Structure 1
Amino acid sequence: MGFQGEKHEAYVRLTLSHHYKTVKEKRTEVTKSSKDRTVTFIEGFNFKVPTSQVETTSLAFHVFQSTSGYGRDKLIGKCVLGSYMFSRGKALIQWNTAFANPMEQCQQWQALSE
Structure 2
Amino acid sequence: PPSDYGDIQFSLSYNDYLGHLTVVVLRARGLKLQEESHAVGVYVKVSLMNHNKFIKSKKTAAVLGSPNPVYNETFSFKADQTELDTASLSLFVLQSIKGEKTQRLGRVVVGPFMYTRGKELEHWNEMISKPKELVKRWHALCHSM
TM-score, normalising length: structure 2: 0.71
Instruction: Flag structure 1 segments of 5+ consecutive residues without an equivalent.
Output: none
| Equivalent residue number for residue 33 of structure 2 | 3
Partners of 2:65 and 2:130 lie apart in 1 by 32
Instruction: Flag structure 2 segments of 5+ consecutive residues without an equivalent.
Output: 6-31
Partners of 1:29 and 1:54 lie apart in 2 by 27
- Identify the match of residue 81 of structure 2 among 9, 32, 51: 51
* Contact kept? 2:40, 2:98, Cα under 8 Å: no
| Equivalent residue number for residue 44 of structure 2 | 12
Partners of 1:72 and 1:8 lie apart in 2 by 11
Q: Which runs of 4+ in 1 moved over 2 A?
A: none
Q: Deviations over 1:48-76 (max 9, x none)?
A: 3212111110000000012111x321100
- The answer on 1:74 being equivalent to 2:106 is no
More strand by share: 2
How many Å apart are 1:40 and its aligned residue? 1.8
Partners of 2:114 and 2:50 lie apart in 1 by 11
- Identify the match of residue 118 of structure 2 among 89, 92, 96: 89
TM-score, normalising length: structure 1: 0.89
Partners of 2:97 and 2:64 lie apart in 1 by 12
SS of equivalent to 1:98: helix
How many Å apart are 1:31 and its aligned residue? 1.0
SS of equivalent to 2:140: coil
Partners of 1:101 and 1:50 lie apart in 2 by 16
Classify 1:30/1:65 alpha carbon distance in 2 versus 1 (closer, same or farther; 3 Å): same
More helix by share: 1
Identity of aligned residues (%): 32
The structure, 1 or 2, with the larger RCO (C-alpha pairs under 8 Å, 6+ apart) is 2
Work out the number of aligned pairs and report it: 111
